[in-house]
Chain A
Amino acid sequence: MSPIVSIENLSKRYDSGFEALKSVNLAIQEGEILALLGPNGAGKTTLISIICGLVNPSSGSVKVGGFDVVKDFRQARSLIGLVPQEIALEPFQTVYDALRFTRGLFGKRHDAGLLKSILEKLSLWDKKDAKTMELSGGMKRRVLIAKALCHEPRVLFLDEPTAGVDVELRKEMWEVVRQLKEDGVTIILTTHYIDEAEAIADRVGVIRGGELLLVEKKEALMQRMGQRQMRIELMAPLEAVPPALARYNLDYSADDQTLTYSYEANGERTGIASLFADLSAAGIILRDVETRQSSLEDIFVGLVEDKS
């Protein structure tokens, strides 16, 4: 299947000389949720802005649905919806008028049924006659999503959808994104929250300093880079880790009487069974054991360190 968005050797150098993107290559498949993860200033917004037509590329090309975003901008843009990072709405306009305007702007005839279904899906139907300035922050964001959807795009870009919103609203956004995916919309979102990418993305692209460090399936990324850690809480404090246990590279913390063992989650042998046998042979009595999957955050930190 040919990708819905294909980016080739895309570079952007701003007039100030700042190189926001350095020869980025990326193929996005239809129907997936791709998270572009990176710190602030990594080039995430520039990448999205070029695809959506807000910024001109310096070199390279972007095709959406097979259409070049510069040469065939009409065809390409009618496939794209963008939810910007900042809330930007005409304050005196009603929610419904805002949607009507956007749909018309994209050259589509008014479709009352469609607008109703979009507004209902985003729990905005009862607010359709409210002026946008009367809405709460969460509702305004949903209006932006509704606007981006009302010309029936096949690809939806969400630029930092949950930047600066509270926990509850964040969960709500994630739910909206999952629902959209079920409806068959391809979603590309940028985020600097690792747990966000971890929670909703199918694939994660890590971007930093204008370079796309890697793009992988979230699980593969977790598996490849992921380590598990086991915390073993002891009944009695240890003077030192017995030499018989040296090969496990255990970390001992005297403060909370715990041993920490790190192992490859998907390794052939985790060494857990022999560790327990050796622990009991050394006469160490356990109080509790817990294991933890390393988060995307750990992976990300590892990646960035690898590169530098």
Chain B
Amino acid sequence: MNFQSVKSIYSFEMARFFRTLSQSLISPVLSTSLYFIVFGAAIGSRIEEIDGISYGAFIVPGLIMLSVLTQSISNASFGIYFPKFLGSIYELHTAPVSYLEIVLGYVGAAATKSALIGLVILATAFFFIDFEILHPVAMLAFLALTCVSFSLFGFIIGIWSKNFEQLQMIPLLVITPLVFLGGSFYSISMLPPVWQTITLFNPVVYLISGFRWAFYGASDINIGLSLAMIAVFMVICLGIIWWTFKTGYKIKT
């Protein structure tokens, strides 16, 4: 294992994050703050409690997840797509690095960035809403798992994308609906039974439910099942990446 190479990719990617700090940090924080103000403080007071939790507090985990998921995907996909677009990816191919090292560097950096964004949003939430975190360690673990698995997913999108349009397409058309319909703003139990069943096919449901459990100890879905589903998602992503590199699909001729 060539740690120097991993470190080089990682710090290069993190440097981009800090170079564009306003873009990387301020915009997700601002948009989530708006959600907190509108849904938490303004409308939230007129909505009754869910599972004994005030509506403002209820949506905190979901909103953090919304940002973390989209950030993980966009950071990781952009990180690997941009050198492809510029042509500077030739360096990765000619360097004595294995695919594992490339993935560790890029996905590690993307996951770190989105975890930082998630924590900053969490800190912001304390300004607008009263809530406590019941299982802080589990919360951090969930956050880390989500960042890593969706950064892996973003990495795949970045490698497979042929243009900027495709790069935007999946986050926009797939992730946003999945997150909104994944119980960010409501409890699954509030849905009609048919929709409850359909919702179970949405992987984001498990993430949000598990994350909310770490906050408040209440969840729609058993915490073990949530963890298992994230693990499955992660393994699938790893498998796809492994296959992509092994066959050179969309990477090498």
Closest to A81 in B: B94
Inter-subunit contact B91/A102 (CB<8 Å): yes
| Nearest-Cβ distance from residue A108 to partner chain B, whole angstroms | 7
In the complex where A54-B94, A84-B90 touch, is A106 in contact with B252 (Cβ < 8 A)?
A: no
Residue picked from B7, B82, B89, B90, most chain A C-beta under 10 Å = B90
Partner of A109 from B4, B16, B95 at Cβ < 8 Å: B4
**Contact partner of A80 among B9, B16, B94, B253, CB < 8 A?**
B94
Known contacts A86-B87, A88-B88, A89-B88; is A74 also within 8 Å of B96 by CB?
Answer: yes
- For A50-78 the 0/1 string (1 means CB < 8 A from B) is 00111110000000000000000111111
Question: What is the minimal beta-carbon distance from B12 to any residue of chain A, in angstroms?
Answer: 5
B95 — nearest CB in chain A belongs to which residue?
A105
CB nearest neighbor in A for B248: A56
A92 part of interface (Cβ distance < 8 Å): yes
Partner of A15, one of B95, B96, B253: B253
Closest to A89 in B: B88
**Are the C-beta atoms of A104 and B8 separated by less than 8 Å?**
yes
The reply to whether B96 and A54 form a contact with Cβ atoms under 8 Å apart is no
Kindly report which residue of chain A lies nearest to residue B105, judged by CB atoms.
A105
Bound: A109/B94 CA distance, A: 18
Cβ-defined contact, B96 with A106, below 8 A: yes
**Closest Cβ neighbor of A75 among chain B residues:** B96
B83 within 8 A of A: yes
User: What secondary structure prevails in chain B residues at the interface with A?
Assistant: helix
Number of interface residues of B (CB under 8 A): 29
- With beta carbons under 8 angstroms apart, the residue of B2, B89, B91, B98 that contacts A147 is B91
Q: How far is the CA of A93 from the CA of B18 in the complex (A)?
A: 12
Is A90 in contact with chain B by the CB < 8 A criterion? yes
When chains A and B are docked, how far (Å) is the Cα of A281 from the Cα of B5?
78
B58-112 contacts to A (CB < 8 Å): 82-83, 86-98
The complex places the Cα of A159 from the Cα of B12 at a distance, in Å, of: 26
- Most chain A Cβ neighbours within 10 Å, of B91, B93, B94, B98: B94
| Total cross-chain contacts (CB, 8 A) | 80
Q: Is the CB of B253 within 8 A of A105?
A: no
User: Is the beta-carbon distance between A54 and B90 smaller than 8 angstroms?
Assistant: yes
- Is B169 part of the binding interface, using a Cβ–Cβ cutoff of 8 Å? no
Binary flags per residue of A1-37, CB closer than 8 Å to B gives 1, else 0:
0000000000000110000000000000000000000
Check: A185 CB closer than 8 A to any chain B CB. no
A101 at the interface (CB under 8 A from B): yes
**Which of chain B's residues has its CB closest to A92's CB?**
B19
* Complex contacts, A104 vs chain B, CB 8 Å: 4-5, 7-8, 11-12
Decide: A53 and B93 in contact? CB cutoff 8 A.
Answer: yes
User: Which residues of A lie under 8 Å from residue B2 when comparing CB positions?
Assistant: 74, 107
| Contact residues in B for A101 (Cβ distance below 8 Å) | 8, 12
Q: Does A97 contact B (CB under 8 A)?
A: yes
| Distance, CA A53 to CA B253, complexed state (A) | 11
Complex: A236 Cα to B98 Cα, angstroms: 75
A242→B8 CA distance, assembly (Å)? 77
Q: Is B15 an interface residue (CB 8 A)?
A: yes
Query: Any chain B CB within 8 A of the CB of A173?
Result: no
Q: Residue A145 at the B interface, CB < 8 A? A: no
Q: Is the CB of A88 within 8 A of B96?
A: no
Given known A-B contacts A53-B94, A107-B96, A88 and B4 have beta carbons under 8 A apart: no
- Does A82 touch B at the CB level, under 8 Å? yes
User: In the complex, A90 Cα to B11 Cα: how many Å?
Assistant: 14
Which B residues are closer than 8 A to A by beta carbons? Answer: 2, 4-5, 7-9, 11-12, 15-16, 19, 82-83, 86-98, 248, 252-253
Q: Given contacts A77-B95, A84-B87, A101-B12, could you give 18 more A-B pairs where the C-beta distance is less than 8 Å?
A: A14-B253, A53-B94, A54-B94, A56-B248, A78-B96, A82-B94, A86-B87, A89-B88, A90-B83, A90-B86, A90-B88, A93-B15, A97-B12, A101-B8, A104-B4, A104-B11, A104-B12, A107-B96
List 13 A-B residue pairs with CB atoms under 8 Å apart, sorted by A's residue number: A52-B94, A55-B252, A77-B94, A77-B95, A77-B96, A88-B87, A90-B82, A92-B19, A97-B15, A104-B11, A105-B8, A107-B95, A109-B4
